[in-house]
Structure 1
Amino acid sequence: MVHEVLSARGLVVRLGGRRAIDGLDLSVPAGSVYALLGGNGAGKTTTLNALLGFVVPTAGSVQVDGLDPIRDAAAARLRLAYLPENVALYPYLSGIENLQYFCALGGVRLADAAASALLDQAGLQGPSHTARVATYSKGMRQKVGLAIAHAKHAKAMLLDEPTSGLDPGAANDFAQRVRAAADAGMAVLMATHDLFNAKQVADRIGIMKEGRLVAEFDTHTVSHDDLERSYLVYTRAAPPRSDA
């Protein structure tokens, strides 16, 4: 039986008098990557924030490994790793020191050798481990974020526009690292505008429009051209809706 790690059931979130999320049903099992596509304001980031417990559902529910992220916030967040578009690290600490610091906040102490091994696993080259993060590219900072996720043994990872601003080579490398994390059993939910990256790394793709999931695809059966065509169709014209 496939274990569902991330889920939303009939999720409604009202922000500023409007439905930022409007009846969302979503499931991400262990060992899979789900990519959420959509334009700005479609509800992708709000979906991630609901799973993180940063916004309270107006109706419906979300769960993280069977836990409610509002009622069981601390336990749910222990199971989650979150990588925003720009990973916030301390610029005057090294990659190893940042990893050790963030792990210590979660009660995990890492020796230098263990921290270096995790950075290697995330794809950060050895000489960079002891360099100040102020010298890192965005792609290198993202890899430290991946190492933090591995270090805390997270069951799920939430990514918000992870390849924005990366060159094609760095984006491809990051996608491979995310795919490897999923293949090792992690559930990954990725909000993105990047159709190519979504097709490359995800098992399923959903398109959001005005808080609704308007289409879903299995990446193994949909072509890139069909995915792009559908994305343009759904994001150019909203389906009829009622806010009753």
Structure 2
Amino acid sequence: MNMASPLEARSLSLVREGNAVLDGVSFTVAKGEIFALLGGNGAGKSSTLLTFLGFLEPSGGEVLVNGRSVGSDVAAARNAIAYLPEAASLYAHMTAYENLDYFLDLAGKSATKDEIDVALDRVALPNEARSRRLQSYSKGMRQKSAIALALLRETPILLLDEPTSGLDPVAIDEFHDLVKTLAEGGQTVLMVTHDVYGACQVADRVGLLRHGKLVGSFAAENGQRIDTETVHAAFAGREAT
């Protein structure tokens, strides 16, 4: 018996204010796989994530989480997913500990201070910063706090929207290593990004989205990374040389 894919888009279309945001997009993401949806501004990347969360209703086709249509059971889909938006909405007047404890409680989960520290260690947020209010944080530090929150949710699926935005190069490499470790542990990752290098560095497969259509697909083979030059050429709309 075949197991349902954790994430699947079937001929997904989305029209907003008369404009076609997504046009017949289809893909699946297997358990333990990292799939990067690559595209420029306005390509429809974030809208794709929001359909999986049930925040946008498809105009055509459907999206499925663990084999069930999101439209038929939004609560089940959201319970299976941890979502990291590009601009995390954490509270500036609260500390990292307070933010994580608060948002975990909203999600019906709890964590001890030690468990929160383990998550913050994994994202390399400095110890001295954890009891400070987030109003003193850089964008990168806020992003690390949000990533830690996603980890603490312990969901089987992660949706990541431009997850390395605001991070420095070292932190980006650390984040990619973390995502690979999570996938090796069985978590399914769908990330959207405009960063060709980052997508090729971390993903098992890359789908190229342009003007709402999936126009290319690239896969890592024989344990090698996806070729950055080939994907960059496709992203730029030219042939690789």
Aligned residue pairs total 234
* Paired letter, 1:193: H
Structure 1, 113-122 or 17-26: larger mean CA deviation = 113-122
2:9/2:64 contact within 8 Å kept: yes
The equivalences for 1:45-56 within 5 A come to 45-56=46-57
Aligned to 1:133: 134
Aligned to 2:236: 232
SS of the aligned residue for 2:143 comes to helix
After superposition, the CA RMSD in angstroms is 1.8
- Shift of the 140–3 alpha-carbon distance from structure 1 to 2, 3 Å rule, reads farther
Aligned to 1:178: 179
Shift of residue 149 of structure 1? 1.9
TM-score by length of 1: 0.89
Aligned to 1:6: 7
Q: Within 2, Cα distance between the matches of 1:216 and 1:37?
A: 10
Q: Within 1, Cα distance between the matches of 2:227 and 2:75?
A: 40
* Paired letter, 1:45: S
1:2/1:30 contact within 8 Å kept: no
SS of the aligned residue for 1:70 comes to helix
1:139/1:174 contact within 8 Å kept: no
TM-score by length of 2: 0.90
* Paired letter, 2:169: P
The equivalences for 1:1-244 within 5 A come to 4-220=5-221, 222-233=226-237
- Shift of the 196–169 alpha-carbon distance from structure 1 to 2, 3 Å rule, reads same
SS of the aligned residue for 1:130 comes to coil
Q: Within 2, Cα distance between the matches of 1:129 and 1:4?
A: 37
Aligned to 1:238: none
Unaligned segments of structure 2, at least 5 residues = none
1:123/1:177 contact within 8 Å kept: no
2:140/2:165 contact within 8 Å kept: no
CA deviation digits over 1:142-177, x for unaligned, max 9? 222222222222111111112233322222222222
